[in-house]
Amino acid sequence: MTEDLDTITAPSADLATDTTPRRTYELEETGFLEVPKKWRKFYRHWQGAGDTLAPNEVICPVCKVVIRSRRELRPGDRVYCMPCMSRLVVVRRPDGTLEADVLY
Amino acid sequence: MDDSTDTWEPHLLDEDEFIREVQSFAFWFEAIEGYLGDRPYGYDEDVAEAELDDGEKDRLVTILCNYCVGETAALEASSGLVRLASNNPSQIFMATQVADEARHVEVFRRRLTALGVDDVDAEIARRSNPELRDFRKRLLSFVDAGQWELAVFAQNVLLETMEDTVFRFHQSVADPITAQILTGVVADERRHLGFGENDLGRRLVRDPQRRRELAEVRAELDPLILGSFEASYRDLGLKPDQYPQLGRSYLEAVERLGIDG
């Protein structure tokens, strides 16, 4: 069973503050080979100093791979890190950046 | 699932489906085919051997001997854990980890042979770090006692996270063949350390009291594993103030699991 794009956002009132339409992204292959072919475009390697995250990307705190989505990410969104099998939720840090917390 | 639409993505899988997918044999097989399909021994056979002087070769042999001890410990422990797994996806995953660890042992031993080591077992016995050998004994004692949580913590969180840190650093400074071997190993380690943290995390949500037991094991094993990996950094020619942040990823993992107190 799969879910539609709206249901992957956690239904928390304090998280659902931004109702503006989300930007969407066309994902291309990034040379990431560590998952089966059909999933590869949803992940990429962090390139270190000089690399930046796009609004549709967060870093997995467990394995440091960059997780990508077809849409702009917002706090409360659920994402999966397939390379390390982690389930994550997007959060906004006090400095305004988006990060991911592990959901056990 | 319809993955042909332009809105579809893996983050839409429900959680049970996600676990079944990523802990399946098919996922493992397709994943490793991506980065090992043309590297049966972990590296592109067209890559030329670098010129290493005697000192560099000697240090590399010592480092690889220690890697062999860690990987052999994980091979033996993960094979025992197949029997202890509490559900089918975990059992399948652990079987794939056995195959990964067997490959790691094989490619590191082949590399030792290529570097001129005639008797690999004797060289490992002579050069390997005693703290790492003690860690191996303790890890296997958890498996023999049927203690899944303690063994998964020691192997998939502690050992795998520390290996991941050291292998990544070594990969950045190694000769081309060793670096390619390590690149493949690091890709495998991602699955192992992620499985460990997530499996333990779910168990600790259900049974928070287990944290005390895990903290005791951590206090016992931290010095062994930290000491042995510090030795690897010394063998890589680093001074203490040059060590990459050894232990940082591990400390972050135990903090997320709540066993950092």
Nearest to A28 by CA among A70, A84, A73: A70
- CATH dotted code for B49-257: 1.10.620.20
Q: Which of B190, B207, B211, B255 to mutate to test the interface with A (most CBs of A within 10 A)?
A: B190
Q: Which of A6, A82, A88, A89 to mutate to test the interface with B (most CBs of B within 10 A)?
A: A82
Question: Which residue of B lies nearest to A88 if distances are taken between CA atoms?
Answer: B11
Closest partner CB to B198 (pick from A38, A65, A104): A104
Contact A1 B194 (CB under 8 A): no
**Domain segments of chain B as ranges:** 49-257
Q: What is the pLDDT of residues B164-179, one digit of tens each?
A: 999 999 999 999 999 9
Q: What is the pLDDT of residues B218-231, one digit of tens each?
A: 999 999 988 888 88
Contact B30 A33 (CB under 8 A): no
**Whole-number percent of chain B with pLDDT over 90:** 85
Q: Please determine, for residue B121, whether its predicted confidence score (pLDDT) is greater than 80.
A: yes
Listed range (A15-19, B177-181, B228-232) with the worst mean pLDDT: A15-19
Q: Report the C-alpha gap between A60 and A66 in whole angstroms.
A: 6
* Amino acid in the structure at residue B186: V
Q: Report the C-alpha gap between B98 and B73 in whole angstroms.
A: 11
Q: For residue B4, what pLDDT is reported?
A: 55
The predicted complex's ipTM stands at 0.90
Q: For residue A12, what pLDDT is reported?
A: 47
Task: Please compute the mean of the pLDDT values over residues B231-249 and round it to a whole number.
Answer: 83
Nearest to B246 by CA among B259, B233, B256: B233
**Domain segments of chain A as ranges:** 22-104
Chain B: closest CA distance from residue A101 (Å):
9
Helix (H/G/I), strand (E/B), else coil: B13? strand
Nearest to B41 by CA among B105, B115, B98: B105
Q: What is the pLDDT of residues A30-76, one digit of tens each?
A: 999 999 999 999 999 999 889 999 999 999 999 999 999 999 999 99
